[in-house]
Amino acid sequence: MATAVVAGALGLLWDWLWSESFWLPQNVSWADLERPGLGSFPRARHVLSAFPLAAGIFSVRLLFERFIAKPCAIHLGIQESVPHQAQPNAILEKVYTSITKCPDGKRLEGLSKQLDWDVRKIQGWFRHRRNQDKPPTLTKFCESMWRFTFYLCIFCYGIRFLWSSPWFWDTRQCWHSYPYQPLTSGLYYYYIMELAFYWSLMFSQFIDIKRKDFLIMFVHHLATIGLITFSYINNMVRVGTLVMCLHDSSDFLLEAAKLANYAKYQRLCDTLFVVFSVIFVITRLGIYPFWVLNTTLFESWEIIGPYSSWWLFNGLLLILQVLHVVWSYLIAQIACKALVRGKVSKDDRSDVESSSEEEDVPAGNRKCPYDGSSSNGANQVNGHMRNNCWAEE
């Protein structure tokens, strides 16, 4: 009896999850898409192939970082530095791991009395201990070089694919004959490769350099995966390719700027960041709303009309546009400061300052990167910038 109830509940859940009234326009059923002679259409089971592909991408990444990125970094003079080790001390270690990584004056005085140490000595211990947790520049360079390579390759593939696609030149083609739009091999590979890459980023977050915005980026990757998967199952893949290619157009420039920063080519870093900022603003605040949103909101309404998943899809794209506005504003601030000061400032979100940089600051003037007192609070730009600082991940 209990088994029958559970089976019935699962059946109702399955029917609700794949409700034709939600996923498909009026007078269209899943059976209509199964009719012979219409060609191959996106299927929910197709997205499962992204998981083994994500594992393959991650394996390629490990080989790439070991045999290509690391030699390039060493050739540019980036060495794997070993930070000065803090003197073992159980009391200070407990404070560091359980209470605070940067104690205030009152706590420092208390520790000084408890250990009979000078306050400056305790400050030095915490400084060295923080430096132990900071990833070496070599590791950050290898990670950024991998992302730069993938973003550049997938963007080139996307442009090449879309150049010969009719909906790239006439966005109304995204909706003609919808949802009876056959899935081509090129479109399938493009979609699944993007989906697999973001799944690989989702998994690799747990072994990559740990950053303060871990949760934010986890949610970002999850939302990206959800939007790609949703548009694929709903066969909105034509407009989906436009969205993906548009967002890929600036990502590789940001990673290139990071590479230049790690290699200490400051002028090249600043130039690349300004170029990235210009392209980001143009694509997110110009092309995206007047090209992509125009076709998803107005042209699709005219050709196929709204239905349940149409509202959800456009709602997600509009939320994305709101984020574009916020990110563009923060990026513009950073770019303007770079032009005025002649140098892009550094990021405190990832605790990336080298040991020498932190030690060279007089103790009385040093501001702990963990105290949360930056002027802009928790601002975060597209997973790359925070607190109006340069993203030196």
Go through 306-324 and write b for each residue having 16 or more CB atoms within 10 A of its CB, e for each that does not.
eeebbeebbeebeebeeeb
Enter the tokens of residue 134: 């900071």
| 3-state class (DSSP) for residue 386 | strand
Question: Which residue positions in the chain have pLDDT lower than 70?
Answer: 1, 5-6, 8, 10-13, 15-16, 37, 82-83, 211-213, 342-393
Per-residue confidence (pLDDT) for residue 12, from 0 to 100: 66
Per-residue confidence (pLDDT) for residue 365, from 0 to 100: 46
Q: Which CATH class is domain 90-133?
A: mainly alpha
Enter the tokens of residue 96: 């560091």
DSSP helix, strand, coil percent of the chain (3-state; round to 5)? 70, 0, 30
Domain boundaries, given as residue ranges, for the chain: 39-76+135-341, 90-133
Separation between Cα atoms, residue 79 and residue 70, nearest integer Å: 9
Per-residue confidence (pLDDT) for residue 119, from 0 to 100: 86
Per-residue confidence (pLDDT) for residue 102, from 0 to 100: 87
Enter the tokens of residue 299: 């042209």
Residue 268 near residue 260, CB atoms below 8 Å: yes
Enter the tokens of residue 242: 């436009």
Enter the tokens of residue 107: 């706590």
Per-residue confidence (pLDDT) for residue 87, from 0 to 100: 81
Measured CA distances, 178 to 15, 60, 149, 175, 301 (Å): 23, 37, 35, 5, 12
Separation between Cα atoms, residue 375 and residue 363, nearest integer Å: 21
